[in-house]
Structure 1
Amino acid sequence: MTHWIFTEEHELFRKTIKRFLDKEVIPFINEWEENGETPRSLFERLGELGYLGIKFPEKYGGQALDYMMEAVFIEELSKAGSGGVGGAIGAHMGIALTPIWRFGNEMQKETYLTAGIKGEKIAALGITEPNTGSDVSAIKTRAEKQGDHYLLNGAKTFITNGVHADFIVVAAKTSEGPKHENLSLLIVDTDAEGFSVGKKLDKLGWRASDTGEIYFDNLKIPAENLIGVEGEGFRYMMENFQWERLSLALNSIALAEKALESAIQYSKERTQFGQPLQGFQVLRHKMVDMAVDIEKARNLTYRAVYQYNTGSDITTEATMAKAYAGEMVSRVCDQAVQIHGGSGYMMEFPVQRYWRDARIQSIGGGTTQIMNEILTKRLGITVKK
């Protein structure tokens, strides 16, 4: 469905992406899902075509296009039918490379950002830790400054691309200062002594992305790998969360659309009691409700994307979009499975994968409950203690 926020150039780009996905991604989705990872060759191919650098400066190999163009890419990649592939690529270009671009020094951009844009190296973001979840203020991983390097110790979990990443942007405590002022972001090369992957995690959904536990044991990080200013890590993460949450909302909308398309197609083909499923009013109305639910999420999200593209602070709008879309996609995918009946429960039908992939959307990037807490503060309805 076209929308006024997208220009003719955006729509032409959408058609180009679709052709690429139809030929080089969709035929291999089942294989990648079974293997439990998105192959390095896809990162390389996307880098070769310039898709990993849509919003990044030309100086580092990017295309210097707008966020609207990246939104188109995110949507179409999500419609390919694998949340895992979208998650792996999104984690690389959206949440790992972006802090380096926005806050990193020239060396970091030339070394890590350029390699990431080309698809030569895979990136990951390491924030979540065992027993901390969404509470980044409780991060225990420590980076102690010792002369010309930091000594890193700690652990991270649920890290997308964590198993095969070449470098990871890690959030760590660098002081005992006040809460939210003691965190820093540092770039960790995964071939450094002291880095290890605990295990590759087995997930309900997003199976085509590798997710791992990672450990740091007296790992030396050159001081020049500190991103931005020491102690500013929390602020950098919060600023980056705006686009991450919009990306997840876009992902949710695209996945829900895919599920609705599958339900509509199945309702035309499946016959019950002498007529197609579409002949039953209750199912027709159910699919209408699904479409309306998607459209609500789309308008919340597109408005926020448009505002973000103008440079506005869209903390409230992005949080609303992520919260609503993340819950919406589970509702829509659940109904799509229901319309498929017993077939929807069979692994040979992709609708079961959409349902599994949808479940992470209200958890990853901050749970719906965290989003609601942010919104109570933004709207001034917190309870005074």
Structure 2
Amino acid sequence: MKRNHYDADHEAYRDTVREFLAREVEPHHERWEEQRLVDRSAWLAAGKSGIIGLAVPEEFGGSGVTDYRFRQVVAEEVARTATTSFGAGIALQDDIVIPYLLHLGTEEQKQRWLPGMAAGELIGAIAMTEPGAGSDLQGVKTTAVRDGDEWVINGQKTFISNGIQADVVIVVCRTDPEAGSKGFSLIVVEDGTSGFGRGRKLHKVGLAAQDTAELVFEDVRVPAGNLLGGEGRGFLHLMENLPLERIAMSVSGITAARAAYEWTKQYVFERKAFGKQIGDLQNTRFVLAEMLTEIEVTESHVDRCVLALGAGELTAVDASKAKWWATELQKRVVDRCVQLHGGYGYMMEYPIARSYTDTRIQTIYGGTTEVMKEIIGRDIAAEFR
């Protein structure tokens, strides 16, 4: 089924992204996976090519493009080339960090950080998860105490994507221990600030080159002007950005599923067993038929959500539906594709093997499948309250 939600501008941009990945990413990605870090030069190249900072207004050095379909094109091309670690890093920059600065930042904050982010000179991260607080943000213990014209931050964060190289970190802090959900604030900490340190570069099952770190804050003093958004409104600000964050995860999931299917379809009609192409065996055809149908149905739904996001109509509940479904589908599809590759599906030189290790985190970060279902379930129950 032909998708029709792209126009000529999106397809022209696809050519730009494809050429950029072939030149700046694909030749180096295996080395990045081995060193567990993407070279900063790739970020700079992405900035020059207009691959990151799309939504940053032109006055701050970006493209000023808010149509999420362009980000969707980037995700599709990253999935096609199996350069997921690189794609995950820039997705965090474009889909999470930059939107917070755009929607909550003062003019001074935007001028300070957005040009560098659009150029790939500054790498951003958001520090929410703690050793004892994952999906339950109410368990956050990192504190920020006002002292004159400064905030003093103490605490630890873990599983922080882009954490090793981040120049700008949005930290979720408890600024009023007695105020419950109204006691959280977002405060920006910059690299080089005294007391701000990095712990281990965490060794993950997949997404090896996408650096993930432990962060430590020991009496970190930042200017009062580094408060992002309203004091005590941090939890609300996090909720406001959820539709974008979760539709981004949905796009990541379905694009990875489509890429795995395409690699596998090609493989089974080249590989022979029992005197014929594997693709001509009935079981293989049934599996291909099932996967293609599920992928196309999900693509249609995710595309509709992307259009709703652009129209300002996508709710956090609808984004949660798309997130859990698309990422769970990704797991099923990639697993079946490994099976159809046989022993070669377990060899890391094949993109399907790399996709297998990269896929498992998808139903965990950005909100677990169980949390997504709870959000949807509460919304259903609210109809009867």
TM-score by length of 2: 0.96
The 2-side partners of 1:252 and 1:218 are apart by 39
Contact in 2 for aligned 1:300/1:317 (Cα 8 Å): no
TM superposition shift of 1:15: 2.2
Q: Structure 2: how far apart are the matches of 1:307 and 1:37?
A: 35
Structure 1 unaligned spans of 5+: none
- What is the match of residue 6 of structure 1? 6
Equivalent residue, structure 1, for 2:25? 25
- Indicate conservation of the 8 Å contact 1:257/1:294, yes or no: yes
Q: Offset of 1:59 from its aligned partner? A: 1.2
Partner SS state of residue 156, structure 2: strand
Aligned equivalents of 1:292, 1:29: Cα separation in 2: 31
Q: Is the 8 A contact 2:53 2:98 kept in 1?
A: no
Matched residue type, 1:114: P
Counterpart of 1:357 in structure 2 is: 358
Partner of 2:266: 265
Give the secondary-structure state (helix, strand or coil) at the position aligned to 1:53.
coil
Amino acid at match of 1:214: L
Deviation at 1:19, TM superposition (A): 2.1
Superposed displacement of residue 75, structure 1: 2.5
- What is the identity percentage for the equivalent residue pairs of Structure 1 and Structure 2? 37
1:295 counterpart SS class: helix
Question: Aligned ranges for residues 267-282 of structure 1 at < 5 Å?
Answer: 267-282=268-283
Shift of 1:142: 0.4
**Aligned match of 1:78:** 79
Taking only aligned residues, the RMSD between alpha carbons, in angstroms, comes to: 1.5
Deviates more, 1:70-79 or 1:10-19: 70-79
Is the contact made by 1:82 and 1:208 (CA closer than 8 Å) also made in structure 2? no
Instruction: Verify: 1:53 aligned to 2:15, yes or no.
Output: no
Secondary structure at 1:56 match in 2:
coil
Which deviates further from its counterpart, 170-179 or 361-370?
A: 170-179
Cα 1:232–1:353 change in 2 (3 A) is same
Q: Name the residue aligned to 1:156.
A: 157
Structure 1 residue 382: Cα displacement: 8.9
Deviation at 1:229, TM superposition (A): 0.9
Shift in Å, 1:268: 1.4
Instruction: Tell me whether 1:327 sits opposite 2:328 in the alignment.
Output: yes
Q: 1:177 to 1:76 in 2, by over 3 A?
A: farther
Letter in 2 for 1:187: V
TM superposition shift of 1:381: 6.1
Are the counterparts in 2 of residues 300 and 320 from structure 1 also a CA contact under 8 Å? no
1:180 equivalent to 2:181? Answer yes
**Any idea what SS the aligned residue of 1:187 has?**
strand
Report SS of the residue matched to 2:112: helix
Report deviation, 1:90: 1.0
Q: For 1:181, what is the secondary structure of its paired residue?
A: helix
Task: Note the C-alpha offset of 1:107.
Answer: 1.2
The 8 Å contact of residues 36 and 207 in structure 1, kept in 2 or not, is answered as yes
CA distance in 2, matches of 1:211, 1:245: 20
- The Cα shift of 1:198 comes to 1.1
Stretch deviating more after TM superposition (292-301 or 262-271):
292-301
* 1:119 matches 2:112: no
1:193 aligns with 2:194: yes
- 1:284 aligned partner: 285
Task: Give the corresponding residue for 1:236.
Answer: 237
Match of 2:15 in 1: 15
Is the Cα–Cα contact under 8 Å of residues 54 and 94 in structure 2 kept in the other structure?
no
Question: Conserved in 2, the CA contact under 8 Å of 1:29 and 1:81?
Answer: no
Counterpart for residue 37 of structure 2: 37
- For residue 141 of structure 2, give the secondary structure of its aligned residue in structure 1: coil
TM-score after normalising by structure 1:
0.96
Q: Which segment drifts farther, 146-155 or 1-10?
A: 1-10
2:81 aligned counterpart, secondary structure: coil
User: Is contact 1:18-1:76 (8 Å) kept?
Assistant: yes
Deviation at 1:2, TM superposition (A): 4.9
* Matched residues, number: 384
1:336-376 residue CA offsets vs partner (Å, 9 max, x unmatched): 10001111112222211111111111001000000000001
Counterpart position of 1:317: 318
Amino acid at match of 1:21: L
Output the CA distance in 2 between the equivalents of 1:11 and 1:177: 52
Q: Secondary structure at the match of 1:353?
A: helix
Displacement of 1:120 in angstroms is 0.8
Mean alpha-carbon deviation: is it higher for 313-322 or for 275-284? Answer: 313-322
Tell me the CA shift for residue 173 of structure 1.
Answer: 0.6
Matched AA of 2:58: E
What corresponds to 1:374 in structure 2? 375
Q: Distance in 1 between matches of 2:351 and 2:320?
A: 29
Give distance in 2, aligned partners of 1:102 and 1:263.
41
For the Cα contact (< 8 Å) 2:17–2:51, is it kept in 1? Answer: no
8 Å Cα contact 1:82/1:357 also seen in 2: no
2:213 — aligned with what? 212
Structure 1 residues 227-261: Cα deviation after superposition (integer angstroms, max 9, x where no partner): 01101111111111211111111111111111111
CA contact (8 A) 1:82 1:354 kept: no
Cα shift at 1:43:
0.8
Alignment of 1:67-146 (within 5 A): 67-146=68-147
Most deviating of 213-222 and 240-249: 240-249
Shift of 1:84: 1.3
Residue type of the alignment partner of 1:80: T
The one-letter amino acid paired with 1:16 is T
